[in-house]
Chains A and B, each alone.
Chain A
Amino acid sequence: MTRPRSDDDRIADIWGPRTPYAAGERWPVRVDRFVPGLADEDVDRWVPSACVLCSNCCGMDIAVKDGRIAGVRGRAVDRINHGRLGPKGLYGWQANNSPDRLTRPLVRRRGRLVETDWDTAMNLVAERSRRALDRHGRLGLGFYNTGQLFLEEYYTLAVIARAGLGTPHLDGNTRLCTATAEWALVETFGSDGNPGSYTDIDTCDTLLLVGHNVAETQTVLWMRMLDRLRGPDRPRLVVIDPRLTPVAREADVHLAIRPGTNVMILNAILHELIARDRVDHEWVARHTVGFDALADVVRDHPPERAAEVCGVEAADIREAARIIGAGRRLVSTALQGVYQSHQATAAAVQINNINLIRGMIGRPGCTVFQMNGQPTAQNTRETGANGSLTAFLNFQNDEHVESLARHWNVRPIDIPHWWEPTHAMEIFRFCEQGSIRFLWVLCTNPAVSLPELHRIRSILDQKRLFLVVQDAFLTETAELADVVLPAAMWGEKTGTYTNADRTVHLSDKAVEPPGEARADLDILLDYARRMDLRDKDGAPLVKWSTPEEAFGHFAAVSRDRPCDYSGLSYAKLRDRDGISWPCNERFPDGRERLYTDGVFGTGADYCESFGHDLETGAANEPDEYRAHDPAGRAIIKAAHYKPPHEPVDEDYPLQLSTGRTVYHWHTRTKTGRAGQLQDAAPRVWVELNPDDARSLGVAEGDLVRVESRRGIVHGPARLTGIRPGAVFVPFHYGYWDRREAGPRTAANEVTRTEWDPVSKQPIFKVTAVRVVRVAGRRAPAPAPEAGRVPAAGAHTVEGRTP
């Protein structure tokens, strides 16, 4: 086999050269590499790892030269990427070598952060934890983590918070990106975990992508899809997205719906599938419950009604349904366009329903991907460092809690399980009302990434709240902290992580962290010692001191659960590239595809949750669930469409959605420090439809102000193929790299505080705004050129002085 190697510029040519292939063939290898100035033989060592800049987790080798990371190359043998890397993976590692890394702990003295030693910083953290415990009880402490730690770190954090301190207030920023993926899977299949494998892209004949701009969010997965789309038996592609994304441009049918109408369009597609009897009745009868209720609900959602509500053509809806109904191997996917809209879980579940009524789950080429946003989001869900119990255990199931307590050697009552663990938005609410007095933020930047930033800043800035921030850089959040703990980054520590198709990678430590920065695991272990956390027999609660030992402990807890790691070990992961869970005696090489026998994780004694009412989030009662035990059948849940709570009106006539650009990650803490990425997209911009721009008197590059009821953000206008009435602003642009004061540029200045009642994921995609022209064009909009989608019929406003 030829192995094309590509040293191409992944800024200008984001997805690189095509390697087309046909259904059932192996995706060809293409090795991407960026090791500036060094040939392979000049590199001291290559350390196997995986990328941590999206939920794909592409296998890569880290090049080490003179004790520093000198570059990366894709791993040809890896099942995820077959050698490829996207722009963030290829260039993002340079942040590790950034001169402004945090190298010493900081504490606030007389209002200023000053350097100190670890002992002083950690003693202060422990002392303030104990003070909060004494004065406010265990519910006075909270932890807000990330989607970018390693499994071992999450697991240790979960044990410390839940069994050690006994607080339910532990969640991650995964609440902002993958909570709906998790809950959509739980509500339908009884348990978290994507059913399929990325190899399903290799065999599918139909793709349905809903609110999933995979070309920018998971570039390497898009390369795989694009290679099929350029291959001899091109799959049909249906795209639902308000923006004319690179994905939408490849579509057979692109439904550019109004933001906030996902449930309506999906119900209309389900309506058509049922009306035209594209239903696998036998499979549905044998493997699901709830079909009749779905048929009842979608009866009220014919394409004509949906066309009106969603702002698309009824004929296009019919054509989309026809394509989906004709496919024999359907892969459906969802991401933030679904998860960050209102009715998030209700919509995501309808995508599951499409595959279920077609009987297309558990076979090659047939699956649903409730995609993850962040690289290690899956692990925070598995370990229970987000709002769930460790190992997908059910907090309403006493036997589950007892088994967890046995593993941790604590009493069941020591583990808070009176209700679902507290979600992130509620943790911040408790900080706001003053009932949480100690908050530890690990490797995330809520001062830029949470909605309604003036509120978040006012919460984090309170004197009564003791704020600990653990990060590699002095982020906007760290600047508000009382203690800042310098953390090691990827490549500087060892651990495992799991991608969106359940593939586990081991990433070995390649280099030392700078200065006194420490691995997150070591910081947590130090805290557990200083807090003297004990099990019920008086022995130390946290019984491990290395990542490998932590992994072993988690693997034991996960035995016989859906995310079974008991057959995995560091040795096995070093031996083989990327192994999927469950991995145990029955599946020693991992299980590529779940539910191949049509048996789902919904049994009352096995399931992760008894589920919720999709409209209110009301939790089902255990007895109620047991009385109608689906016992392994998937649960079809229907939902009526509801308009957003803040509709557009005369004052705020446009709908804002926020999102990512291909070159950046979150608040640019890392990607903003990689020259190629930062230069490719240096500043915020505001995407407008040309017709809307014309009526506002705005031309390309004009400075505009986006105003909502909550705040204002400024940026130059870019005219694109976004649908009329919709506005898009990337959310990456905070203030850490600003040299002088200026207008606000963080998109979350204008977003609002509301979340989905089931997944508790905040709503970033539906904010009523108005756009006001501030000044004429100073320069072209700094938006990425390469990723740009030119608007059909783009125009400029004539007669305006630049």
Chain B
Amino acid sequence: MNKVGLLLDQLHRAETRLGAEFRRVAGREAADQEVYYVCRDLARQCDERAAAIRRLGTRYGRSIAAPSGPGPLRTALTELRRRASCLLGRQRISGLLLLRDLRALFLAAQAANVAWIAVGQLAQALKDGEMLTLVNGLHKENLTQIKWIKSKVREASPQALLT
């Protein structure tokens, strides 16, 4: 059984979920322009990482399917969510909702983090230098995303909870 492929599959799933989570939060936090734009950028980073994982999968004989794009219903929902969040963004509750979203993002990002750690170890054990360089670079990007989420949590918590 191709355990390398299984692990890559798992990592791919984690990155795909994280990307979807960034998109979802961007939509829900459209009134907070920084969260909105950064989350959209970070979602794209996740897409690119997922694509890199698929290419790695091919090398190890595992064909990983690319996630399907959003259907028309999902696209309409996303737009609806964006508009709703712009209205909700004028309510004080929006601070708490942001914290909840950041928590969900953090968990999704950590799931990817753990998977990257495992894949990095694997690359070393396999003595696959090319894979190791690739994994190190992409894992670092994932860690920077986590750093960003932590920055936002630190910044947003007092305002959301005390006012």
Contacts and interface: CB of A to CB of B under 8 A. Distances in A.
Contact of A139 (B41, B42, B144, B158): B158
Interface centre among B38, B92, B163, by most chain A C-beta atoms within 10 angstroms, is B163
B89 A432 contact: yes
A420 B155 contact: yes
Contacts of A615: 41, 144
A618 B148 CA distance: 4
A616 B90 contact: no
B68 interface: no
Given A139-B158, A618-B144, A757-B38, A435 B95 contact: yes
B34 interface: yes
Give 10 closest A-B pairs by Cβ, nearest first. Answer: A618-B148, A618-B147, A435-B163, A616-B148, A434-B92, A419-B154, A619-B151, A419-B155, A139-B163, A753-B33
B34 A755 contact: yes
A256 to B, nearest CB: 27
Contacts of A419: 151, 154-155, 158
A645 interface: yes
Contacts of A616: 38, 41-42, 144-145, 147-148
B159 interface: yes
Contacts of A621: 147
B32 interface: yes
A642 B37 contact: no
Given A616-B42, A619-B147, A757-B38, A432 B33 contact: no
B33 A434 contact: no
A618 B141 CA distance: 11
B41 A754 contact: no
B93 to A, nearest CB: 9
From B33, B148, B160, name the one whose CB has the most chain A CB atoms within 10 angstroms: B33
Nearest to B98: A433
B37 A617 contact: no
A754 B33 contact: yes
A613 B148 contact: yes
Contacts of A420: 155
A195 B95 CA distance: 40
Given A429-B32, A434-B92, A757-B38, A136 B154 contact: no
A140 interface: yes
A137 interface: yes
Interface string A603-633: 0000000000101111111000000000000
28 contacts: A418-B158, A425-B34, A426-B34, A432-B31, A432-B89, A434-B90, A435-B159, A436-B163, A613-B144, A615-B41, A615-B144, A616-B38, A616-B41, A616-B145, A616-B148, A617-B34, A617-B148, A617-B151, A618-B144, A618-B145, A619-B147, A619-B151, A621-B147, A753-B33, A754-B37, A755-B33, A755-B34, A760-B34
Contacts of B154: 418-419
Interface in A256-278: none
Nearest to B161: A139
B110 to A, nearest CB: 15
B148 A137 contact: no
A430 interface: yes
A136 B95 CA distance: 14
A141 to B, nearest CB: 10
B119 to A, nearest CB: 22
Nearest to A762: B33
A436 B38 CA distance: 24
Contacts of B163: 136-137, 139-140, 430, 435-436
A755 B37 CA distance: 9
B73 to A, nearest CB: 25
Contacts of B92: 433-435
A727 to B, nearest CB: 23
A341 to B, nearest CB: 14
Contacts of B145: 616, 618
Chain A: interface residue count, which band?
Answer: 20 to 34
Contacts of B94: 433
A436 B32 CA distance: 15
Interface string A97-139: 0000000000000000000000000000000000000001101
Contacts of A757: 34, 38
B162 interface: yes
A137 B41 CA distance: 35
Contacts of B89: 432-433
B142 to A, nearest CB: 12
A768 to B, nearest CB: 15
B2 interface: no
Interface string B14-57: 00000000000000000111100110111000000000000000
B160 to A, nearest CB: 8
A645 B37 contact: yes
Contacts of B33: 425, 429, 753-755
A760 B152 CA distance: 13
A429 B145 CA distance: 23
A607 to B, nearest CB: 18
Contacts of B95: 433, 435
B108 to A, nearest CB: 16
Nearest to B160: A435
Interface in A736-773: 753-755, 757, 760
Interface string B75-91: 00000000000000111
Q: Which of B144, B158, B159, B162 has the most CB of A within 10 A?
A: B159
A435 B91 CA distance: 8
Contacts of B34: 425-426, 617, 755, 757, 760
B17 to A, nearest CB: 19
A621 B37 CA distance: 23
A136 B158 CA distance: 12
Nearest to B150: A618
Interface in B122-163: 144-145, 147-148, 150-151, 154-155, 158-160, 162-163
Contacts of A620: 147
A757 B41 CA distance: 12
A621 B147 CA distance: 8
Contact of B41 (A425, A426, A642): A642
Contacts of A430: 159, 163
Nearest to A754: B33
Given A435-B92, A436-B163, A642-B41, 8 more contacts: A137-B162, A137-B163, A139-B163, A420-B155, A435-B160, A613-B147, A616-B38, A618-B150
Nearest to A168: B158
A139 B163 CA distance: 6
Contacts of A425: 33-34
Contacts of B42: 616
B41 A432 contact: no
Which residue of B90, B91, B151, B162 has the most chain A CB atoms within 10 A of its CB atom?
Answer: B151
A618 B35 CA distance: 12
Interface in A423-473: 425-426, 429-430, 432-436
